[in-house]
Each structure stands twice: as structure tokens, then as C-alpha cells.
Amino acid sequence: MNYLRSQLITLRNALVARRREERLNLMSQRGEAPCMVAFYHRVADTHPNGWSISRRGFRKHLDYFQRRFEPVSLSEVQRRVRESYSARPTITMTFDDGYQDNIEFALPLLIERKMPCTYFVSTAHVLDQKPFGHDIESGIALPINTAKQIREWSDAGIEMGCHTRNHVDFGKVHDPAERKQEIVDAKNELEQIIGKSVRHFAFPFGTEQQLTPEAIETVHQAGFEGYCSAFGGYNLVGRDAFHIRRFHGDPQFARLVNWCSYDEKKLQLEPELLMPESEANSHQASHANQTIAS
């Protein structure tokens, strides 16, 4: 069934390729090229599961990205969105959780190819070497990066980002003290590990259910420069630069290509988020400035 579905997506990609390519070229000419942000969890050839991709598959993704996009950092994505100008489609690599397998292949390859990457880790799992619950449930407690490894790869050029302390589901967190612990305290812990400022936060699970106004407000209060979701979406000029939209680096290559060829219909399917007061005020101020400038 998966093979048939992949073949159908491949056929559809071929049918719409020319129209989408023309659309991307037009957007680039207008300075409106989308900024793509892909997220991964684990690159490994052992213990395959729903949140892993093979080394061969990951290399194929990078080959495709480098042929078609300009690799940039998350901060550069935000700058282009905020300043409402992007002359070329871009790609940014991100990882969630902090699996030890990634230091054996994925991170060295990204550094070798000079592709910016933000690596989001859950600090309690790193400090306590505590396997993730979803791995325990699957029957294989996969190893987590150590604090020493996180520090070393930060020094090597991989940007470290915060992914809470305990990989919590904020849709189920209603205690302000727990939100502070999972966002503010986690940021402080990670900064102590790497000896640098941590700029970005990624929500575990990352759907609209987890992106509550209260959690987003706490991300603001913690001093982060932005947060990442994980329900898909494009970072387009003029949108809210504090919210970085990401799509899955899908092992089914046809589905990855479908995202990267820019499907306008996906914008219509993107969920609406309830904004916290601080973000609403920021959005209103940005809109007012654009109105004055025009």
C-alpha cells in the first residue's frame, strides 16, 4: 500500500511539476520565495522505526536540497520573513530530541556539506541519559546524546535549540510552574551545557494542540527568538517570523518532493493558532508598520 501511494504521489508530482516550477520562479522574481524548514529525528540504519530515516535516504534528501535550494540558518529564515524579501527558495535542516546515532553520520555530513542545522534537545533526557517514552513503548530504548557530545557538536558549528526538559505534550500541561520548568528552566540548562545563548525552541509533537497560547507566551517570556512547529507549512515573507513552520523530512521521497515543490493547497490546510497577547500585539505593530511604509 505504501509503495502504491508513493507511486501515485510521484505521478502527481510529475503532472504538476511545470506549473509549480513556474510558480516558484515567479515568487523568486517578486522576492517572495518560500523558506523551507525540514525536521528529522534520527538518521540510522539500525532499529528502523517511524521517526528514523536511513543513511542512504538522508543523503538523497541532502542531494536534492542542495540542487534546488539555498541552505540557510533559522535566523536567516526569520530575517527574510520579517523583512519581506526572499529572492531564492531556501532550506534549513533541524533535528528534534537528541539521538546519539546522529553524531555518527548525519551531523558530520551536514558540517562537511556546510548545511546549517539546528539540533533541538530535551535537557533532562540528555543530563539523566533517560530514554524517550515512545522508544520504551516500542521496545527499544535508543541511546541519547550526552551533555559532552552536545557541547562538542555545538562547538563544531551545530546550533543547539531547546526541546523542553522532559519532551512534554503542552496540550496536557496546565500548570504555569510546569510550563516554566519545561521552557524557561530548560533553556537555562541548555545554555549552561553549551556555554552559549540558545535562540530557538521547538515544541514536542508540534501540532496545533501543543501550541497553546499559554505555552507560546512562556516561550516569549523565556527570551527565545522564535519557536518551531511541526505540522507542515511554508515560511513566507510577511508572515509571523517568530513562528517557524516545519515539514517532516519524510523517508518517502515523493512526499518530500511534494512539499518542496510548493503546493499552494497546503496553505489552505494549515491550522489556525490562537495567539498569545504578546504575539498578537507584535503582529498588530508589524502590520501597522507595513501600512505606514506603504
DSSP notation for the chain = -HHHHHHHHHHHHHHHHHHHHHHHHHHHHTTB--EEEEEESEE-SSS--TTEE-HHHHHHHHHHHHHH-EE--HHHHHHHHHHT-BSS-EEEEEE-S-BGGGGTTHHHHHHHTT--EEEEE-HHHHHHTPPPHHHHHHT----B--HHHHHHHHHTTPEEEE--SS---GGG---HHHHHIIIIIHHHHHHHHHTS---EEE-SS-STTT--HHHHHHHHHHT-SEEE--S---B-TTS-TTEE--EE--SSHHHHHHHHT--HHHHHHSPPPPPPHHHHHHHHHHHHHHHHH-
pLDDT given for residue 285 in this prediction:
45
Look up cell 546519539; give the residue: 100
55-63 long-range Cβ contacts below 8 angstroms, 24+ apart: 55/105, 55/106, 57/251, 57/253, 58/105, 58/106, 58/109, 58/249, 59/109, 60/253, 61/249, 61/253, 61/256, 62/109, 62/110, 62/113, 62/115
- What is the grid cell recorded at 116? 546549517
CB 42 within 8 A of CB 53: yes
Phi, psi (degrees; rounded to nearest 5) at 34: -70, 150
Longest dimension (CA), the chain: 58
Look up cell 523568486; give the residue: 28
Count of CA atoms in the C-beta half-sphere (13 A) of 94: 31
pLDDT given for residue 261 in this prediction:
87
Instruction: Please give the class, per CATH, of domain 2-284.
Output: alpha beta
Tens-place pLDDT, residues 102-151: 999 999 999 999 999 999 999 999 999 999 999 999 999 999 999 999 99
- What residues contact residue 186 under an 8 Å CB cut-off, 6+ apart? 122, 123, 124, 162, 163, 164, 165
From 266, 136, 123, 150, select the one nearest 204 (Cα to Cα): 123
Q: Write down the pTM of the prediction.
A: 0.90
pLDDT given for residue 291 in this prediction:
35
Alpha-carbon Rg of the chain, whole angstroms? 19
Q: Give the burial class of 64: count Cβ atoms within 10 A of its Cβ; 0-12 exposed, 13-18 middle, 19 or more buried.
A: middle
pLDDT given for residue 135 in this prediction:
94
The ranges of the chain with pLDDT < 70 are 1-15, 277-294
- What is the grid cell recorded at 148? 559532552
From 282, 209, 281, select the one nearest 241 (Cα to Cα): 282
Q: Where exactly are the structural domains of the chain?
A: 2-284
